[in-house]
Every structure is written in C-alpha cells, then in structure tokens.
Amino acid sequence: MMTVKVKKPILVAGLGISFLLWLGESLHEEVIAIGEWGVLSLMAIGTGIWWWQEKQPKKTVYQTISPLTLKEINQAISDGEKILKIVKKESPESNLLELETELKRLPEKLNNQFLCLGLFGNSKTGKIGLQSLLNHETYFKEIKWLAQENLEKINQKIDLIVFLISTDLTESQWQLIQQSHQNHQRCLIVLNQPEQSNTEEQEVILQQIKQRVRTIIPSNDVVAVNSNPTPLKIRQYKDDQSYQEWTEIKPPNVAPLKNRLNSILSQEREQLIWGKVWREAQEIKEQGKQILNKVRCDRALPIMEKYQWIAAAAAFANPVSSLDLLATAAINAQMVVDLSGIYQQKFTLSQGQAASAAIGKLMMKLGLVELSTHAISSLLKSNAITYVAGGATQGVSAAYLTRVAGLSLVEYFQEQEVSSQSNQSLDIKKLSTKIKQVFEQTKRTEILQGFVKQTLPKLS
C-alpha cells in the first residue's frame, strides 16, 4: 500500500471531517431525495447534454473595434515591459535580450512612415497581375508588397491587407478577415472577375459581400476590379454575308482599388503605423507570456502529480462507489491553492475549497465521473489480478480526475492576464470549457491505458 505524508493542514482535516461536511452540504438534497439511481440518471443526462453541445458548431463572435489611440499603444508597450520583468523575476536564467531590445525600439517606430501592404488570395485570383499593375503607379513604389496564398495566418507586420477573391467569401475567409480586424489590420476586399462575367451577377455578388461584412468593413472598402481581361473574339458581318474577325483586348480596370488605396494611404497612414506597433507590442507580450507559462508549468506539474497520487491512495483505502471525485474534494482544494500560488492568483484556503467544490459539481454535471470510472473499470477488467482489488477502480479514477482538474487549472491560469497582483477570482464558464477540453484530450484509450499502468504501482 502506498504511504503518502501529508503536511498541509487542510488535507489532514479534509480527508476526514471536511469531506463529510462537503458531501453533506453539496449533495444532501440530490443524494437523499432521489437516491443513487437518481444520481446516476443525472450523470447520464448531463453526459448526453454535454455530448450534444460538443457536436454543435461553435463560431467566434467578433466585435467592432475603435481606432487605436496613442494611449492604448503606450499601454501595450508597458504591458510588455511588465511581462518581461515578471519573467526575469521568476526565471532569471531566461534569455530576454532580444525581446527587450525589440520592445525598446517600438516608440521610435511610431515615426516610421514605411508601409507594407499584403495581397492575399487563393490561387487563380490574379494576385501577380494585380501587383504588377499597382507597382506601375508612382504612389505605390515606396511600398513593400507581400503576396501570399496561405490564408491560415496573416503576417502581423502587414499594415493593410488587400484580400483578393474571385467569387463570394467563404466562411474561413470571413473568419480570417474578422481576426485581422481584431488585430487592427485594415482590410480591403477586392472582387477580381474576368470581363466576360455576367455584369448583373457581379453586382449581386458584390452587394452580398458588402452586406455580409458591413459590421466591420465599410462598403467603399469592398470594390470590384478586372486585373487580367480575357481576350474577346469579335466577328463583324458585311452585307454579302462575309465577315471580318479579330481579337480585342480591353485594358485592365483596377481604378476602383487604386483610388481607394490612394485615399487610405494619404488619410490614414498614421493609424496604419500605430496598428503595426501595437501588434508588435502584443507579440512581444505573448512571447514573454509563453516563456513564463513554460516556467510555471514546469513547477505546476510535479505539484499536480503529487496530489493525484494522494487522491489515489485516499480513494483506494476508502473507496466510495460512483462518487470517487467527492472523496478527493479536500485534496483538490489544497491543489487549487498551491497552483494558484504558482500563477500569482494566491487563493485562500476557503477560496480553494469553493473552487474545488465548483470543479466537482462541473465534473458531475458533465458526466465525467461516470464516464471515466466506466472506462477505467473496463481497462482494469482485462487484468484479473488488478481487478480483484476492490479499490483499484476508485483509486485510479480519483487520480485521473484529480489530474484532469489540475491540467484544467493550469490551462485556465495560463490564459489569464499575467499580473504581479492576486486576482482571486475564478471564471466558472471558462474553467468548464477547459475541463471539457482536457477530458477530451486525455480520455483516449491509449492515454488511459498508460495512465492506469502508471497509477497501479502507486497503489501496491
């Protein structure tokens, strides 16, 4: 039998009295009123609802944003400085010289008048021909152009995006445009169609696009051009029924785009430059945050693993059928406190208990307790020796659910704004999302098999 020394006061009391109090307060009405079968039914219903919700398509809702101000840019630079200071404090060995140098240069870049425009579009949308036509204009010769087909991610250093399409916007293209808008990247939508296309059809498509994007893109930023007219064969008949035939090539028509670009570059150049500086500050902040999260995660994982083994030992010694998670309530509470300290949230013991209770209720509501217990039990049945031990299922389940809770908390804390001040609040909705994501990532059979093999020796 595994022996675990527990020095935390909340664990000493929690493994006895606190568990009974928590069980009585949290499940008194549910367990007493409807009995064990009712609890299992609620688990099944919760699992079904969760499964249905997970299958529904989720679309990110993007909001219209206001133009940047100099105050917001300075705040973004200041936030980056704060992040790097926290990283240096918590991990003095981290090499931040490059990020610090880039951050110090940002104020100077506010006066830089150089612009970078990007041509984005799938193949056969006429990017090369359009870029060539624009480069002939004197006004655009001082501007760097970037052409790109990969639309998964837009270069953050591009000041203005010319988004080229040959038909209506796809959903993925619209999502990308909205993301760019959130990043303060100005975007023009250009419908590039051949001359022989139906004029009425062109106008219908153009109006559809304008209507669809109207919340973030003004109608005059959606234009139609023809950068590569298709040669037309002309046949003229004479009175004697003979005819003369020739090929006629109309000149390209990109004037609507040129006029709009000229207007934006002359009137909004400062805002375009500010947007790039703001994005660079955000990128430096994000890189600093990634370094910090890596440092903190390396500290958090051993703590989380310690508590999952404590939970396994407690449940194995005193198994409670179908309620494995509840037996680990006090253990999870102390784990919440310790993890929050690593991420500078610094929950009190009472906050840790409240958070642990909330996590327990979420797992019960989502049906994770029943799902994990059933899956682990099935795996253990394949080994008659381990299955003989009545507490094995409860012990492994408790360890697994504690790990899910710990990983969910780590991912939740990593997404919070980094601050040297304690936040002491928990967004249950966001945490619920993290719990579902972590459970989906770890419930696969091969992962559970590995976890069971890792856990069983701890119980022997």
Domains in the chain, number: 2
Span 129-141, average pLDDT: 70
Q: CA nearest 119: which of 176, 152, 163?
A: 163
β-bridge pairing 222-225 and 160-165: unpaired
Distance, CA of 276 to CA of 268 (rounded, Å): 13
Q: With cut-offs at 50, 70 and 90, classify the pLDDT of residue 140.
A: low
- Looking at the structure, tell me whether residues 256 and 366 fall in a common domain: no
- Looking at the structure, tell me whether residues 123 and 253 fall in a common domain: yes
Looking at the domain assignment, is residue 342 inside a domain? yes
Q: Output DSSP code: residue 333.
A: H
Q: Give the Cα-Cα-Cα angle 241, 244, 193 (nearest 5 degrees).
A: 120
Looking at the domain assignment, is residue 443 inside a domain? yes
> Which helix or strand (DSSP H or E) is residue 248 part of?
strand 243-248
Residue 49 has pLDDT above 70, yes or no: no
- Looking at the structure, tell me whether residues 22 and 160 fall in a common domain: no
- Looking at the structure, tell me whether residues 257 and 389 fall in a common domain: no
Q: Give the Cα-Cα-Cα angle 439, 441, 443 (nearest 5 degrees).
A: 60
- Residue 435 CB contacts under 8 Å (≥ 6 apart), including other chains: 359, 362, 363, 366, 368, 404, 405, 408
Q: What is the pLDDT of residue 152?
A: 64
- Looking at the structure, tell me whether residues 219 and 335 fall in a common domain: no
Looking at the domain assignment, is residue 286 inside a domain? no
Percentage of the chain modeled with pLDDT above 70 = 75
- Looking at the structure, tell me whether residues 264 and 382 fall in a common domain: no
User: Using one digit for the tens of pLDDT, what is the confidence trace for 184-228?
Assistant: 999 999 998 765 556 778 888 899 999 999 999 999 999 999 887
Residue 337 has pLDDT above 70, yes or no: yes
Q: With cut-offs at 50, 70 and 90, classify the pLDDT of residue 331.
A: confident
Residue 254 has pLDDT above 80, yes or no: yes
Range of the domain at 36: 9-58+318-459
- Looking at the structure, tell me whether residues 339 and 409 fall in a common domain: yes
- Looking at the structure, tell me whether residues 171 and 256 fall in a common domain: yes
Residue 403 has pLDDT above 80, yes or no: yes
> Looking at beta carbons, which pairs linking 148-155 to residues 24 or more positions away fall under 8 Å?
148/118, 148/119, 148/120, 149/121, 149/122, 149/123, 151/120, 151/121, 151/122, 151/176, 154/118, 154/120, 154/179, 154/180, 154/183, 154/185, 155/118
User: Using one digit for the tens of pLDDT, what is the confidence trace for 174-190?
Assistant: 998 999 999 999 999 99
Residue 55 has pLDDT above 70, yes or no: no
Looking at the domain assignment, is residue 303 inside a domain? no
Residue 47 has pLDDT above 80, yes or no: no
Q: What is the pLDDT of residue 437?
A: 92
Q: What is the pLDDT of residue 141?
A: 59
Boundary residue ending a domain (210, 235, 268): 268
Higher per-residue confidence, 437 vs 239 = 437
Least confident of 2-11, 91-100, 235-244, 341-350: 2-11
Looking at the domain assignment, is residue 392 inside a domain? yes
Span 75-96, average pLDDT: 95
pTM comes to 0.75
Span 119-135, average pLDDT: 78
- Looking at the structure, tell me whether residues 332 and 449 fall in a common domain: yes
- Looking at the structure, tell me whether residues 199 and 337 fall in a common domain: no
Q: What is the pLDDT of residue 21?
A: 36
What CATH number has the domain bearing residue 235? 3.40.50.300
Q: What is the pLDDT of residue 70?
A: 95
Looking at the domain assignment, is residue 46 inside a domain? yes
Looking at the domain assignment, is residue 397 inside a domain? yes
Boundary residue ending a domain (268, 285, 302): 268
Q: With cut-offs at 50, 70 and 90, classify the pLDDT of residue 419.
A: low
- Looking at the structure, tell me whether residues 436 and 327 fall in a common domain: yes
Looking at the domain assignment, is residue 82 inside a domain? no
- Looking at the structure, tell me whether residues 411 and 322 fall in a common domain: yes
